[in-house]
Structures are given as structure tokens and as C-alpha cells.
Chain A
Amino acid sequence: MSVNKEFVKFDKVDKSYDGKVLVVKDLQLDIAEGEFITMLGPSGSGKTTCLMMLAGFETPTNGEIYLDGNAISSIPPHKRGIGMVFQNYALFPHMTVYENLAFPLRVRKIPKDEADKKIDKALSMVSLQGFAQRMPGQLSGGQQQRVAVARSLVFDPQLVLMDEPLGALDKNLRESMQYEIKHIHESIGVTVVYVTHDQSEALTMSNRIAVFNDGKVQQLSSPDELYEKPVNSFVAEFIGENNTFAGEVTDISGGKCKVKLSNAEILANPISVKGKGERTTVSLRPERALINPSDKMDNIHKGKIEEVIYHGDHTRVRINILGNSEFILKVPNSSSNLDIKLGNEINIGWKSEDARALDPK
């Protein structure tokens, strides 16, 4: 059975609330069946609006959304059959857990014995058997969250939307819930569209991530690609840590380019620069730069250690190098790093293919 690659399709979707500002601009996005896709972005980037349009609580100003090949803009939310987990769970406070879960089944007129089976199954999926008769107010935040997940899945929707569902939980609980949701997704194969502003959440859970900024998808790719190969400086900046050098391209040849900084020249990997004279921002992940490098590195420069912060498993070192005093280095904790002392001058090296020359900021 072939997987429907365009299970959800945003086709040239624009959205404006006031007729002046576009919150979502010309959105083109395909989501495959069974995929876990995350919309990631800072607040106000349009990701929640996209989710609301998909759920049916907002209508696109222009363009069309397709669900399994059918245009859904004119279908009201209750007929779309999409499960949704809300930011603050939105459990019905006057109903027990059982009644909360029975709600979608009851409105679908599913017979009671069948509904009970489904509810049992959904509750065991989130390991909350025996909680059916509790009121939501008697549950902890994490338990409420699980009930919300169970409720969104109990009527076997093909698509589940999650709007920052873990935002209100504490760090440890959030992490364990991330795995739990991921496992549920893997075991039942439902398509999930997940919205978050927490990048580590996005990286751990998703098949693909759509990074939103300014109403547009900046990059849509798998988590590793997003981290390793950001296509523009917003993504590079937004995902993970990032060292940057601003400069001007002086030469491009053989998959490498020379970038002239204010007082030096470095080699970089041309990603979004096309020719000489263009302004660019070179992005380099902290863990790709090494102290006292071997000769294979084609960028080796001297820097001065400005700050050393001990992090247990690694040490963060802030270095002033090539006029950038915010250059961060992550040094794994081992006994060989004895030169890392405040004020020392050390050699820093990196490969030119890890230094990505992106659009200027």
C-alpha cells in the first residue's frame, strides 16, 4: 500500500486577520500520511494560525487546504474528524475522565459497549487505567495531558493536531511525555501535526520539522538535516547554537568560497551565495570547531579565551576570534584540555564545509 504523500496539503494559503498584515504568506506544505510533522517557530510566526486553519477554527483568506484529497475550507470543524490536543488540555471540567473520552464517541452515536472498549484502549495507551471515574481537577498536569491525548485519539481520527500540548508541564515531565507521545504515534501510525516553540521538543519527536518565521516556512526537513544543514541564517540561529561571521564573498570555486571579514579571510561552504561581492553570514556550529586542530582543517585561526563555563559533561568556552568576541566552543570533558584557561591564546580550527555561507542577517 502506497503512502499518501499529500494527505494534508496547504495550497497557496494566505491568512490575514485585519486585512493589513499577512500572518501566513503563500503557504505550500504537504504532509504525508502517518507522518509526525512539527511546526516550529517563535511566537507570532503563524504556526498556530496554520493549525487553527487545519482544524477549522480559522478560514484561509486565500488558497485551499486539502485533507486526503478533499478541499476542507467549507467544512465546519465538527465534520472534519480531526483530533486535537489543546494548549491547556481543554478537558471538560464538569465531566469525569470517562465522560470526556465518551464525548466524541457519543456524538458519533457509537454503541455503549463498543465505546467502552475504545475508551479502555485509549486509557491503557496513555497508562491511565483506573482513572476513568476521576474528575479532571483531581488529576495532575501530566495526567490531564494524557487524558487530552487519549481523548483526541479515542475516536480513531486519521489526523491529530497538537497545539503546544506540553507547554504547561515541568521539564522532566515534558521530556517523558515527549517520548510517550512519540511512542503512541509510532504504535498507531496516526498523522500528527504538532506545534511548538521548543526546538528540543521538535528535534526529538518529529519526522520532519517546518520552521516558521514571519508567516513563511523557512525550511522543511528532517531534524538532523535542519540542524546540520540550515538553509538560511534564521534557521541556523533558531535551531541550536551557532557562531556567525559577517563578511563579503571574494571568490567562489570548487564548492568553496572565500569570505572576507573585517580583518581576515576564511573559507566557507557556499549555500545561498551565488557570486562575488555578495554579503553573507557564515554559520558554524560550536561543536564543529576544535581546539589545537590537526592539519586537515582548512581554517585555523588564533583566539583568546574570554570566559570558561563549566557544564559538567562539557565546558563552554567563549573566545575572541577574528573580531567576534561571542564565539562559543563546546569542549567535551576530558583530561587533555589543560590549556583552557582564561586569557590563554589558542588555535581554533574547522573545516570549510561546516562553515555555511548563508544569507546576510
Chain B
Amino acid sequence: MSSETKQILTTDGIPLEVSLKKAEKKNKIKAFLLVAPLLLFIIITYVFPIGDMLMRSVDDKMVTEMLPKTFKSMEKWDGQDLPPEEVFEAFYFDFQKLIEEEREGKLSTQLNYTKNGFKSIIKKLRRKSKSFEEGNYKEQIMSVHRRWADVEYWRAIKRRAPSYTYQKYLKGIDMYENEKGEIINVPEDRRVHRILWMRTLEIAFFVTVFCFLMAYPIAHLLATLPMKYSNLLMICVLLPFWTSLLVRTASWMILLQQQGIVNDFFVMIGLVSDDNRLEMMFNKTGSYVAMTQILLPFMVLPLYSVMKTISPSLMRAGKSLGGTPFVAFWKVYFPLTIPGIGAGCLLVFILAIGYYITPALVGGASGTLISNQIAFHMKSTLDWSFASAMGLMLLSGVLVIYWLYNKLVGIDNIKLG
């Protein structure tokens, strides 16, 4: 009897499982229709853009498409000496086609990313190539500029042959692939991104710590005060939430600048002299202060919602059993708030790591973060593929943190409210 599982039938003789599925089908469809708009919204606004970003960050088809014949003829070239005549010929015909389509400027920009010095020689080649004669293109091109006779530049072109590349990611951590295909660090005086990554992590970490230190007592007070006071306090906590981020950041500028209110006050009470006012703005201090204030509610709310559920009799029990107030707090209350701490810290850290407006306004040169760099490449250099690569690196960093958190604390231990 036990070895064979007997199929249970309903009174009408239909297998129970089938009948159950049928009965629940309608509800399932209804439930799906309810979430469908959000699902669609998320796919359109989140999944597609991220997919596009991923493609863009590794996409290198542009040059591949512009120089199809050249790359084909380069396949046989070993890259040791100057390429043979057929490569030059193929390059000439590809180039002529680009001139007809007026796309040779784009080629020069792209090649210039790979190696500096392409811009001027391509311009020169464009001018001179009008008077080229048929045959012996190698000599004719090489005579345009001596760089065209330099094997380094031809190797640079060859490196653009694959339609996908991870160069942007290397650039994001201040590394590059040299002519021999080795991945090496850029010279120390030209490393910008690593400093930014480290600074971003550092600022996000300390902002999380500051938020935690300040939010814990507030949340505790909120959870234990009688209703009428706690409501008022809650409004005080949430009030910044309801004002524009820009307004808040601007008001920090008013407060923290050298002629600002805080400095005036310090001068007034004699903490600093008038000609030696503190610099709290346009540096890390500015970022710390403003970001901590702005992200504070994200720490307070999860902590509060967890603390609210902790019965006050637990602390009393701890004390009545002989624990000093500190022991009762540390052994009983604190462990019970860990889900809230985890949620709050994760939330604040992840928000801080991608923070943009505040550091852009009050951070100055030493207080900007990686997201400001991303924005810079989006808006100023128009190197979208590099911006995408850095954006994805940031995203994967967040995912790693999430994974770590799940390993250490367990994501089901999180409690947001």
C-alpha cells in the first residue's frame, strides 16, 4: 500500500490535483492580471535599459562595420612588421566609402580612443587621398604622414577588429590592454577611477555608520514614547522626506559654506577665528553631512518598525532575571533589532553608493563619487559605452553586497516594515 501512491479522486471521479488546478486557475489569472501592469512597467523601465546598458558597454561593432575589408585582410597579418599591400588597399577602399558617407570623422574619434594621434592623420589622409593614383597604396598612404608608417598605429586598428570588447571595464578600474595584449595598470599619475571607487565605498560606509549611530536612539525613542509624542517625532523624522532633495542640499550649502551660519556661529563662540573659517563645503565633509541627513529616514524607518514589535516586557524580563540594563539591552534588545539594522544599513549603503545630486552640489572635487563620473561621461565626453560599463560595475557591486548580506545575515531576516 505504501509503495504505490494511490491517486485521490474527487466525488465526480476527476483526479484531485486536476480538479484543484482547475479551481485555482481563475484566481491565478486574476492575480496575474493585477500584477501585470507593474510587471510590464518594470520590464520596460528596468530590464530593457539594463540590458541595453550591458550591450552598450561591450559593444564595439562601429569600427568593425566601418572597416570590413581591412579587418578581413588583416586576419593573415601577424602584426610584427608593417602590414602587406593588400591591407593598405583594403583600408583605402573602406576609407573612400566612409568619405562618401561622411563618416570618417566618427572613425577618427573611435580610433583616437584606442590610440592618441589618429585624429590628425586621418584628416590629412582624407585631404591627400583625393589625388591618390591606382595601385601601390602602401607607399602612397605611408607618405601622407610618418605615423601611417608606424606599425603601432596599424596594431591599434587591428585591436578594434572584434565586435565586442571589455576595454571599457578595464578603463573603469584604471587598467588597459597594451599592444601585446597584456592587461596592465595605467601610470599612477593618471589613475582616477580607482580613487573614485574607493572614495565611493568609503563615503557610503561612513554615511551608513553615521546614519546607524544617529538613527538607533531616535528609532528607539519613537518606538517607546507615548503615541502623542512619537507622532510628533515621526513627523520631524519624515519632514525632510517631504521636501525636495535639491532644496535640502541647497540649505546645507547655506549652512556649511565658509560665510555660512555654522561658521558664523563657531566664530561667534570663539571656536575658530574669523580669518580661519572651517571648510565644510565642497569637500568630503560636505558630502558626509548632507548625505547622512538625507539618508537618515531610510535607517530610522526599518529600525522603528522592528523596534515597535519588541515587547517592552522583554527588557523587563532581562532585568528581573538579573541582567544589568546594559546586559539586558545587549543580550536581549539588540539581537532582536538586527533584522532592522540589516535592512537599514543595506538600504542606506546601496543608496549612498549611487548617490549623485548631493555630492555633485556639495562634494566639490574631493567629495564626488563614481556616479558623478558616470554622469560626466554621459553628458560631457559622450562616451556612453564607458558610462554604461561603470554603471554596470556599480550595479554588480551592489549585487555583491546584497549577496554578502544574504550570506551573513540572511535576506529573509530583513524587515522593512
A residues neighboring B (CB under 8 Å) = 55-57, 76-84, 86-88, 90-94, 103-104, 107-108, 151-152, 155, 161
With A88-B311, A93-B336: A78-B323 Cβ-Cβ less than 8 Å: yes
Query: How distant is the Cα of A239 from the Cα of B93 in the complex, in angstroms?
Result: 110
What chain A residues lie within 8 Å of B318 (beta carbons)? Answer: 92, 103
Q: Is the CB–CB distance between B322 and A107 below 8 Å?
A: yes
Known: A94-B336, A103-B323. A77 touches B313 (CB 8 A): no
Distance in angstroms between the alpha carbons of A359 and B317 in the assembled complex: 42
Cβ-defined contact, B320 with A55, below 8 A: yes
The residue of chain B having its C-beta at the shortest distance from the C-beta of A92 within the complex is B332
Q: What is the predominant secondary structure among interface residues of chain B facing chain A? A: helix
> What total of chain B residues lie within 8 Å of the partner, measured CB to CB?
19
Write the chain A residue with the least CB distance to B310. Answer: A93
Contact in complex: A151, B321 (CB < 8 Å): yes
Q: B319 to A90, Cβ gap below 8 A?
A: no
- Is the beta-carbon distance between A78 and B335 smaller than 8 angstroms? no
Which residues of chain A are near B313, meaning CB under 8 Å? 86-88, 90
Asked if A92 contacts B322 (CB within 8 A), the reply is no
The reply to whether A104 and B322 form a contact with Cβ atoms under 8 Å apart is yes
A94 touching B320 in the complex, CB below 8 Å, given contacts A86-B313, A88-B311: no
Which of chain B's residues have a CB closer than 8 A to the CB of A92? 314, 317-318, 331-332
Shortest beta-carbon distance, A115 to chain B, in Å? 13
Contact A84 B320, CB 8 Å, known A90-B311, A107-B327: yes
Q: Quick check: A94 and B335 within 8 Å, CB to CB?
A: yes
Interface residue B325 (Cβ < 8 Å from any Cβ of A): yes
Measured CB to CB, the closest approach of chain B to A160, in angstroms, equals: 10
When the two chains form their complex, are residues B320 and A82 in contact, meaning their CB atoms are under 8 A apart?
Answer: yes
CA distance A152 to B318 in the complex (A): 11
> What is the chain B residue whose CB lies nearest that of A161?
B320
Instruction: From A87, A88, A155, give the contact of B321 (CB < 8 A).
Output: A155
Closest A residue to B320 by CB, please name it. A84
Q: Is B136 an interface residue (CB 8 A)?
A: no
- Name the B residues within 8 Å of A56 (CB-CB): 319-320
Structural contact, A90 and B316, CB atoms closer than 8 A = yes
A77–B336 touching, CB < 8 Å: no
Among all A-B residue pairs, the 7 with the closest Cβ atoms: A104-B321, A90-B317, A90-B313, A84-B320, A77-B319, A86-B313, A78-B319
Tell me the chain B residues, 288-334 only, with Cβ under 8 Å from chain A: 311, 313-314, 316-325, 327-328, 331-332
List of A residues within 8 angstroms of B321 by Cβ: 78, 83-84, 103-104, 107, 151-152, 155
| A104 vs B324: C-alpha distance when bound (angstroms) | 11
Can you list 20 A-B pairs with a CB-CB distance of less than 8 A? Answer: A55-B316, A76-B325, A78-B320, A78-B328, A79-B322, A83-B320, A84-B316, A86-B317, A88-B311, A90-B313, A90-B314, A91-B317, A92-B331, A103-B318, A103-B321, A104-B321, A104-B323, A107-B323, A107-B324, A155-B322
* Most chain A beta-carbon neighbours within 10 Å: one of B321, B324, B335: B321
A residues in contact with B319, CB < 8 Å: 56-57, 76-78
Chain A nearest CB, measured from B317 CB (Å): 4
A83 to B317, CA, bound (A): 9
The distance from the CB of A64 to the nearest CB of chain B, in whole angstroms, is 20
- Interchain CA distance A84-B323 in the complex, whole Å: 13
What's the Cα separation between A151 and B328 when bound, in Å?
15
A84: which B residues are within 8 A, CB to CB? 316-317, 320-321
Chain A residues with CB below 8 A from B331, complex form: 92, 103
Give chain B nearest CB distance to A194 CB in angstroms. Answer: 15
* A49 CA to B314 CA, complexed, in Å: 18
**Is B322's CB under 8 angstroms from A108's CB?**
yes
- Extra contacts, 12 of them, besides A91-B317, A108-B322 (Cβ < 8 A), are A56-B320, A76-B325, A78-B327, A83-B320, A84-B316, A84-B317, A84-B320, A90-B313, A90-B314, A92-B314, A94-B336, A103-B318
When distances are taken between beta carbons in the complex, the residues of chain A under 8 Å from B311 are: 88, 90
Q: In the complex, A103 Cα to B315 Cα: how many Å?
A: 13
Give the contacts of B257-298 with A (CB-CB under 8 A).
none
Do B322 and A78 touch (CB < 8 A)?
Answer: yes
Closest Cβ–Cβ distance, residue B312 to chain A (whole Å): 9
Closest-by-CB residue of A relative to B321 is A104
User: Which residues of B sit under 8 angstroms from A108, Cβ to Cβ?
Assistant: 322
Chain B residues near A57 (CB, 8 Å)?
316, 319
Q: Nearest B residue to A78 by beta-carbon distance?
A: B319
Would you call B317 and A77 a contact (CB within 8 A)? no
Contacts of A90 in B (CB 8 A): 311, 313-314, 316-317
Q: How far is the CA of A87 from the CA of B316 in the complex (A)?
A: 12
Docked Cα-Cα span, A151 to B317, in Å, equals 10
Complex formed: what's the CA distance from A18 to B246 in Å? 45
Shortest Cβ gap from A72 to chain B (Å) = 13
CB of A109, distance to nearest CB on chain B (Å): 10
Instruction: Assess the B327–A77 pair: CB atoms within 8 A.
Output: no
Give B336's nearest chain A residue, CB to CB. A94
B residues within 8 A CB of A152? Answer: 321
* A56 and B327 alpha carbons, distance in the complex (Å): 17
CB-CB < 8 A to A79: which residues of B? 322
Which residues in A have their C-beta under 8 angstroms from that of B336? 93-94
Complex Cα gap A7–B313 (Å): 26
Q: Which residues of chain B have C-beta atoms less than 8 A from A77's C-beta?
A: 316, 319-320
Distance in Å from the Cβ of B268 to the closest Cβ of chain A? 41
